Chain A
Amino acid sequence: MATPTVDPITLSVVRGVLETTQREMTLALEKTARSSVFNLAHDYSTALFNHTPEMILQGQDIPIHLGSLIPAMKAVAGFFEGDINEGDLILHNDPDYAGSHIIDTCMYYPVFYQGELVFWTVCKGHLTDIGGPVPAGYNPEAKEIFAEGLRIPPVKIWDKGKPRHDVLNMLLTNMRARRDQEGDFNALIGACQVGARNLVALMDKYGKDTVQDCIEVLLSMANKHMDKLISQVPDGTYTGTAVLEDAGHGFGDFDITATVTIKGETCHIEIASPPQIPYFINSYEGNSYSGVYLGLMMFAQLPPPYNEGLYRNVTVNMGPKGTLCNAKSPAPHMNCTTTPMETLTDAVRLAFEQAAPDKVSASWGHANGCNIAGWDDRHDEEYVTMVLASVISGAGATATQDGWHVRGPLCCFGALTSGDIEMLEHSYPIIIHRYSMIEDSGGAGKFRGGSGACWEVEPLDKPMTLVTFGEGRRIPAMGAAGAESKLIEKKVGRLEITRNGKTEVITDNVIETINPGERAANINPGGGGFGPAFERSPAHVVEDVRNGLVSIEAARIEYGVVFADAESLQIDEAETARLRASA
């Protein structure tokens, strides 16, 4: 399409209004939702599409939703092609229509102006339940997607403005905690409508054609921006392979490979992964887009706003159907937004690192967390929750600075918020003994990876069940630009259970029960470093040692910095020079 000519001032204003619209949709969603996964995990997205439908603005929210709405919107609009009417509202979660995992539910609201379909406002959010045999959806026993919950292909819940109570009732009847799910449906619907109202007001003010022209220009500008970034990379084919750990399922480790071919301003990404397995870590194509786009974003490092123009010259092939990253029904998939997505992201990131070695940041620690469940004597009720603090790993270092401490996991990139210690102890019968950074957990490098975190819990009154998930317990977060860690065991995740003074270290996904007086410490990985660790300035190493982030032993082994005096942290210059020269 030829790019229209628009007044540059109107263009800036339209762009501002689109961003405000997206922000207000996000706030409406976050404030009205009941689910703490919405509220604290920021596990939702809002997006605007044009009539094509091409994404014209993506909320900056969370990477695990970065890509999947783009194919999902197209699949949903395609399903109802010729039957999309003013006042319709479509709901969907199924990965066969490019949904991510079925607990993420999407609403699509077509916005009409003077009788014509002009926009779509779209929201997606992680519900607390989607039916199926296991509360909250994560069923490690599932051999098929049918054992994970309710699949919802595109379905109209409003038809020409009329709510379809029969359909809604059928859906909600299949879910636990019906009122919460209903509340979250309302939150998603409300956010779509906030967006629609703003867009109609925008067209009233500037006219539909002008607004559409501005949007076309914005898409084209994003396209040119990404083209420029890609064309700065030498033409060629770059490959990255990342290893997905066997976290106890018994099928062994898997390689995921990304091959990135750059030619001029075009970029083609090819994914190769092993055949799908009967365990819930398969990723359907829609979800895999998020992993690929996050890897791309770790190269592009763009500020918001994001639209589909960025990807006009980026093509992706997820590999043959029936593979881990391009799964087909009935593959179980619930864990896919973390595993294998983070390994897929690593593979793409690594391929781009070959292409742009000075630019691409190190990887972040993978999600390695736990859910807790038990009985609350205080209110005589059952409790179950995902412990967000247990997945917040260290961030990767960049070409300019150390990784942020405790900011992950990779698939969330800092978007999460762990709850306040006191509010968690108020809500659940637990005592949190520790939520802290860990010495030597950040990947070694000229710029150090961010620290991982330790979250240690003890149940009060009654036993507690812990369900652990994820990986990153054997392979540390990938460094960049030659960064390498030597003390691996301190940089990976694990679960430590202490009973009667004896501590057991667990590195598989397990279900464990602990009693009052016993403790479980979930330790998650640090981020990767950037650049050779022996190039780190000794002054920074001293600062890290002073702050308890690097041990004296690690300073010597990983950074080649030797201390003459452990108390004053006086450096032994000669020994440091000798050690660093010998490397």
Chain B
Amino acid sequence: MQTKYRLGIDAGGTFTDVVLADATGQVRIFKALSTPSDPTQAIRNGLALIEEETGITPQEIVSNTDLCINGTTVGLNALITHNGARTGLIASSGHEDSIEIRLGHKEDGYRYDPDYPPATMLVPRYLRRGVSERVLSDGTVRTALDEEQVREACRHFIREKVESVAISFVWSVLHPEHEMRAAEIVREMMPDVHLTIGAQLYPQVREYTRTSTAIVNAYLAPILQRYVSAVDAYFASLGAKNPVRYFQSNGGLARGEIVTDQSVYAINSGPASAPQAALNVAEPWGEKNLITVDMGGTSFDITLTKDGQANVSKNIDFLRYRIGIPMIQVETLGAGGGSIGWIDEMGLLQMGPQSAGSEPGPACYGQGGENPTTTDANLTLGYLNGDGLVGGRLPLDVAKARDAIKAKLADPLGISVEKAAYGMFTIVNNNMVNGIRRVSVERGYDPRDFVLMGAGGATGSHITALAREIGIKKVLISKLASGLCAYGQIISDVKYNYMAPAPVRLEGADAAAKLDDLFNGLEARGVSDLEADDFTRDRISIRRSLDMRYVGQVHECTVEVDPFQITEESLEKLKAAFHARHKELYTYDEPASAIEVVNVESTICGHVEKPAQMRIPAGQGSDKALKGTRPMVFDASGATVETNVYEGAKLGAGDVLHGPAVIEEVTTTLVIEPGWTADLHESGVYVVTYDPERDTRTAKPAKELAEA
């Protein structure tokens, strides 16, 4: 890092985390409340907070920063609240409705629910216009584009005051000319609208996915455009020397104009930096198989890296909208500190997904919340300090927590408050374990082969319990855990995805040559885009992925490989990689069966210099940090155990302590269950490991359910 600072700003639902790294290796995290109605305000507030606490002015930081990085939920919020732009669609005649038919499927879990509504249409039917044109599956033109119908669609859109237009034709990926010509006409007739072209944004086979992706993009683009210009202007006014970088859901950074044109990439960027952050935190131990769990106020996000590569999802339903572009797989559950405990119609205790949010918040906040939440349970169990969260700025009322648990759960179930609280804790943990199985077991990985990484303000109380339930023996949790995602953003690289359709059977020299040409073409474009952004060739890396299947199969599986020249001989390497991945995922392969490719993609990364890793001073022994004891509950009996409480700020490198114990950091609290040992590393990371000999509990957690 040549300059004095690097600045990251991650706007979350509740808090905007600002992370400031400096050339000496110091990393500091500041939390400001998010301001959804004016997102740039939270950035000003965050920088003002830094000035207040450190005296460093926003101008001084921004003008001495190599990179200002912004992760934003602007797109996400617009999609959640359906407040995107007024959007029109031009489609192939006869296929205007694919976006509403949605392959005819109703989501599982609501099969007999008479009240579950269809997904809100981002483009209502009267703003979808079919035009006569048709390309066939071999790329030949069956029907030429009827330009007059495109003009008529534009006139309709102008009358209807459409702000953004998506164009998506059947098989346009094999013959983009019709879409391009239609786009020319739209630009000519509607020069001020934002325009999204299906085959340009997402050049992959599958009409429904492509059209849906294009529509989400069109719906969000004007919103992102307004946001990006406001942020860019603000940073420019502070003397920024480089363009602001925006964080994308593919786990990489992008320039503002790209986030505007390809706004769909910005959609779920917040948690997407977790894998990068986790790899960085785990670097001293060389751990590359990591499951990262991030628990905040309302949600619990899970990500996974295997061999240093993050799980990527393509072609998934996100907030009920099909999105094709590659995104870091984030499994999100409604399980946070504010998750409400309730008794369902059957009489069973449940946790979430409803959340008390920050208003009124958990009962213990004393802001009028009457529902018992995860935070109330953790307070009742003794894990949290009644003096308060966030360094005492938010005092907690134990009596209110107990009252809520008693009235809503313990009395109706006929059990003690402690038992009910431990039950809430257990059930919320089990919900999280089931989520962890979805990113691991269901992707062909055994979670016990992974290290568990903690992130987010509320995770610390649950982390050893989660590891115990899954059967993971090693946990890493950084002192920066509560702002880990913001930290992940400032150590991330610039990353773009380049895609092409490739419906070919994996046989013969022609197929090999076609794939080789496709990849080379994509990568030449990618490299030249990054070179234009001042990345030298040695700082650019490439990774390829192919969506492949056995001929006759319906679903593809994505295979990632490093680049190599594709020839008839080296096709065998691709086949072998596919067989191996298929077996890993689905327990078997079919070496004798023919394989076909459907789509290909190259991920091009421009590597950004990393700031120095944090260093903390050596400790004086954990005794020096002991601040007292509290009674705490560690098993289903509800019995309390007098437990040591340590002040995290006084622990240093090399300090070791054994569970049961609690470590109170300023922005998070770590519960070290019986049987676990925490060892603070010089990089500010607690290494927490399990030794069954040390587990004093009578009801020992037996075999893990991760067996399967």
Interface of A toward B, CB cutoff 8 Å: 7-13, 15-17, 20, 24, 27-28, 31-32, 34, 36, 39-40, 60-61, 63, 180, 186, 190, 194, 197-198, 200-202, 204-205, 218, 221-222, 225, 297-298, 300-304, 361, 388-389, 392, 395, 398-401, 404-407, 413-423, 425-426, 431-437, 453, 456, 460, 546-549
Contact with A along B94-113 (1 / 0, CB 8 A): 11111011011110111111
Instruction: Tell me the complex Cα distance, A205–B112, Å.
Output: 34
8 Å CB contacts to A: which residues of B541-559? 552-555
Instruction: Tell me the complex Cα distance, A453–B103, Å.
Output: 11
Q: Can you list 15 residue pairs at the A/B interface with Cβ under 8 Å?
A: A12-B349, A12-B430, A63-B111, A180-B552, A400-B115, A401-B117, A405-B101, A406-B97, A406-B101, A417-B103, A436-B95, A456-B94, A460-B136, A546-B126, A547-B124
Inter-chain contacts of B109 with A (CB < 8 A): 60, 303-304
Contact of A16 among B104, B115, B430, B701 (CB under 8 A): B430
9 tightest A-B contacts by CB?
A: A414-B106, A9-B423, A398-B114, A434-B94, A392-B104, A547-B125, A39-B554, A425-B137, A201-B707
Inter-chain contacts of A419 with B (CB < 8 A): 103, 554
Inter-chain contacts of A413 with B (CB < 8 A): 106, 111-112
Instruction: Tell me the complex Cα distance, A490–B104, Å.
Output: 20
Instruction: Tell me the complex Cα distance, A169–B498, Å.
Output: 48
Inter-chain contacts of A200 with B (CB < 8 A): 707
Say yes or no for B585: interface residue by CB 8 A criterion.
yes
Inter-chain contacts of A456 with B (CB < 8 A): 94
Known A-B contacts A7-B636, A420-B208; A437 and B101 likewise in contact (beta carbons under 8 Å): yes
* CB <8 Å contact, B208 and A405: no
Residue of B nearest to A549 (CB): B125
Determine, out of B225-233, B340-348, B362-370, B448-456, the stretch whose residues face the partner at the interface. Answer: B340-348
Contact of B108 among A60, A425, A437, A547 (CB under 8 A): A60
* CB <8 Å contact, A431 and B208: no
The distance from the CB of B504 to the nearest CB of chain A, in whole angstroms, is 11
Contact of A421 among B124, B208, B349 (CB under 8 A): B208
Known A-B contacts A205-B702, A405-B100, A435-B101; A186 and B95 likewise in contact (beta carbons under 8 Å): no
* CB <8 Å contact, A407 and B126: no
The distance from the CB of B429 to the nearest CB of chain A, in whole angstroms, is 9
Say yes or no for B171: interface residue by CB 8 A criterion.
yes
* CB <8 Å contact, A407 and B104: yes
* CB <8 Å contact, A405 and B142: no
Determine, out of B264-272, B434-442, B569-577, B643-651, the stretch whose residues face the partner at the interface. Answer: B434-442
* CB <8 Å contact, B98 and A426: no
The distance from the CB of B556 to the nearest CB of chain A, in whole angstroms, is 10
Residue of A nearest to B557 (CB): A31
Inter-chain contacts of B441 with A (CB < 8 A): 24
Inter-chain contacts of B171 with A (CB < 8 A): 422, 425
Contact of B346 among A225, A297, A401 (CB under 8 A): A225
Inter-chain contacts of B134 with A (CB < 8 A): 431
* CB <8 Å contact, A17 and B705: yes
* CB <8 Å contact, A435 and B95: yes
Instruction: Tell me the complex Cα distance, A162–B587, Å.
Output: 20
Contact of B708 among A198, A398, A435 (CB under 8 A): A198
Known A-B contacts A27-B442, A301-B112, A302-B112; A421 and B95 likewise in contact (beta carbons under 8 Å): yes
* CB <8 Å contact, A298 and B585: no
Q: Is the interface of B mostly helix, strand, loop or mixed?
A: loop
* CB <8 Å contact, B118 and A405: yes
Contact with A along B620-654 (1 / 0, CB 8 A): 00000000000000001000000000000000000
* CB <8 Å contact, B104 and A417: yes
Say yes or no for B376: interface residue by CB 8 A criterion.
no
Instruction: Tell me the complex Cα distance, A180–B431, Å.
Output: 37
Residue of B nearest to A194 (CB): B708
* CB <8 Å contact, A24 and B430: no
The distance from the CB of B502 to the nearest CB of chain A, in whole angstroms, is 12
Residue of A nearest to B348 (CB): A12
* CB <8 Å contact, A225 and B588: no
Contact of B118 among A60, A404, A431, A546 (CB under 8 A): A404
Contact of B588 among A63, A186, A201, A421 (CB under 8 A): A186
The distance from the CB of A248 to the nearest CB of chain B, in whole angstroms, is 26
Interface of B toward A, CB cutoff 8 Å: 94-98, 100-101, 103-106, 108-115, 117-118, 124-126, 134, 136-137, 142, 170-171, 205-209, 345-350, 413, 415, 419, 422-423, 426-427, 430-431, 434, 437, 441-442, 503, 552-555, 585-588, 636, 701-705, 707-708
* CB <8 Å contact, A435 and B205: no
Known A-B contacts A197-B707, A205-B703; A547 and B112 likewise in contact (beta carbons under 8 Å): no
The distance from the CB of A86 to the nearest CB of chain B, in whole angstroms, is 18
* CB <8 Å contact, B349 and A8: yes
* CB <8 Å contact, A16 and B101: no
The distance from the CB of A363 to the nearest CB of chain B, in whole angstroms, is 13
Inter-chain contacts of A15 with B (CB < 8 A): 348
The distance from the CB of B103 to the nearest CB of chain A, in whole angstroms, is 5
* CB <8 Å contact, B205 and A221: no
Listed residue (A20, A39, A398) with the most chain B CB atoms within 10 angstroms of its CB: A20
Known A-B contacts A221-B347, A415-B111, A422-B171; A201 and B708 likewise in contact (beta carbons under 8 Å): yes
The distance from the CB of B204 to the nearest CB of chain A, in whole angstroms, is 10
* CB <8 Å contact, B111 and A417: no
* CB <8 Å contact, B434 and A202: no
Contact of B586 among A9, A31, A61, A198 (CB under 8 A): A31
Residue of B nearest to A303 (CB): B113
Listed residue (B345, B426, B554) with the most chain A CB atoms within 10 angstroms of its CB: B554
Contact of A8 among B423, B434, B707 (CB under 8 A): B423
Instruction: Tell me the complex Cα distance, A546–B98, Å.
Output: 18
The distance from the CB of A183 to the nearest CB of chain B, in whole angstroms, is 8
Instruction: Tell me the complex Cα distance, A63–B112, Å.
Output: 10
* CB <8 Å contact, A414 and B350: no
The distance from the CB of B580 to the nearest CB of chain A, in whole angstroms, is 16
Inter-chain contacts of A61 with B (CB < 8 A): 108
Instruction: Tell me the complex Cα distance, A200–B142, Å.
Output: 58
List 18 other contacts, CB 8 Å, given A8-B348, A418-B101, A453-B104. A8-B413, A9-B426, A9-B427, A12-B350, A15-B348, A17-B430, A20-B437, A24-B708, A204-B702, A205-B702, A218-B346, A304-B111, A361-B114, A399-B114, A415-B111, A417-B103, A421-B208, A547-B126
* CB <8 Å contact, B555 and A198: no
Instruction: Tell me the complex Cα distance, A198–B433, Å.
Output: 14
Contact of B98 among A398, A414, A435 (CB under 8 A): A435
Listed residue (A63, A303, A407, A413) with the most chain B CB atoms within 10 angstroms of its CB: A303
The distance from the CB of A342 to the nearest CB of chain B, in whole angstroms, is 16
Known A-B contacts A31-B555, A435-B94; A416 and B104 likewise in contact (beta carbons under 8 Å): yes
Inter-chain contacts of B554 with A (CB < 8 A): 36, 39-40, 419
Contact of B348 among A27, A221, A301, A406 (CB under 8 A): A221
The distance from the CB of B89 to the nearest CB of chain A, in whole angstroms, is 13
* CB <8 Å contact, A221 and B346: yes
Instruction: Tell me the complex Cα distance, A367–B421, Å.
Output: 50
Known A-B contacts A13-B426, A32-B587, A399-B114; A421 and B98 likewise in contact (beta carbons under 8 Å): yes
Inter-chain contacts of A302 with B (CB < 8 A): 112
Residue of B nearest to A27 (CB): B442
Contact of A205 among B126, B419, B705 (CB under 8 A): B705
Inter-chain contacts of A301 with B (CB < 8 A): 112-114
Instruction: Tell me the complex Cα distance, A9–B421, Å.
Output: 10
Instruction: Tell me the complex Cα distance, A66–B318, Å.
Output: 29
* CB <8 Å contact, B97 and A435: yes
The distance from the CB of A407 to the nearest CB of chain B, in whole angstroms, is 5
The distance from the CB of A195 to the nearest CB of chain B, in whole angstroms, is 9
Contact of A420 among B113, B209, B422 (CB under 8 A): B209
* CB <8 Å contact, B555 and A420: no
* CB <8 Å contact, A202 and B112: no
Residue of A nearest to B412 (CB): A8
The distance from the CB of A418 to the nearest CB of chain B, in whole angstroms, is 5
The distance from the CB of B488 to the nearest CB of chain A, in whole angstroms, is 29
Inter-chain contacts of B431 with A (CB < 8 A): 16
Residue of A nearest to B115 (CB): A400
